[in-house]
């Protein structure tokens, strides 16, 4: 935001509405926002994810193994509870629980 050096009023588009003061073209600043878009998507390796996620004792629906990793995501609206996901450590079967 810039102000007129003569009367102190805020300049609109480099010109004072009260006294007529105008900034020179060279003095006016223009801002450009440039955003770089990444074309890559980084995905965790299944083995890396298993090492960092917490484990729980729960029966796998597919193979019957009793240990799985789990995580939670907000899949519905904000006023609804989160959805819990489980992945069996043995067979990699993934299922969810709508808490």
CATH number at residue 67: 2.20.25.10
Q: Which of 59, 61, 67, 80 is catalytic?
A: 80
Which residues contact residue 66 at a Cβ distance below 8 angstroms, ignoring those fewer than 6 apart? 57, 58, 59, 60
**pLDDT tens-digit profile of 1-37?**
788 888 888 888 888 888 888 877 545 555 666 666 6
25 labelled catalytic: no
Q: 54 exposed, middle or buried (CB, 10 Å; 0-12, 13-18, 19+)?
A: exposed
Domain that holds residue 10: 1-27
The verdict on residue 36 lying in a domain is: no
Q: Which of 29, 36, 45, 79 is catalytic?
A: 79
The verdict on residue 89 lying in a domain is: yes
**pLDDT tens-digit profile of 71-86?**
988 877 888 888 899 9
Q: Which three-class secondary structure state does DSSP give residue 52?
A: helix
Does the pTM surpass 0.75? The reply is: no
29 labelled catalytic: no
The verdict on residue 38 lying in a domain is: no
> Which phi and psi angles does 49 have, rounded to 5°?
-65, -40
């Amino acid at each position: 935001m810039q102000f007129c050096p003569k009367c102190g009023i805020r300049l609109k588009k480099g010109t004072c509405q009260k006294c007529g003061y105008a900034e020179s073209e060279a003095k006016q600043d223009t801002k450009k926002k440039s955003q770089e878009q990444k074309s890559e998507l980084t995905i965790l390796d299944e083995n890396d994810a298993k090492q960092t996620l917490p484990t729980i004792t729960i029966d796998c629906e597919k193979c019957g193994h009793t240990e799985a990793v789990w995580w939670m995501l907000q899949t519905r609206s904000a006023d609804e509870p989160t959805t819990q996901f489980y992945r069996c450590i043995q067979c990699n079967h993934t299922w969810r629980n709508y808490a």
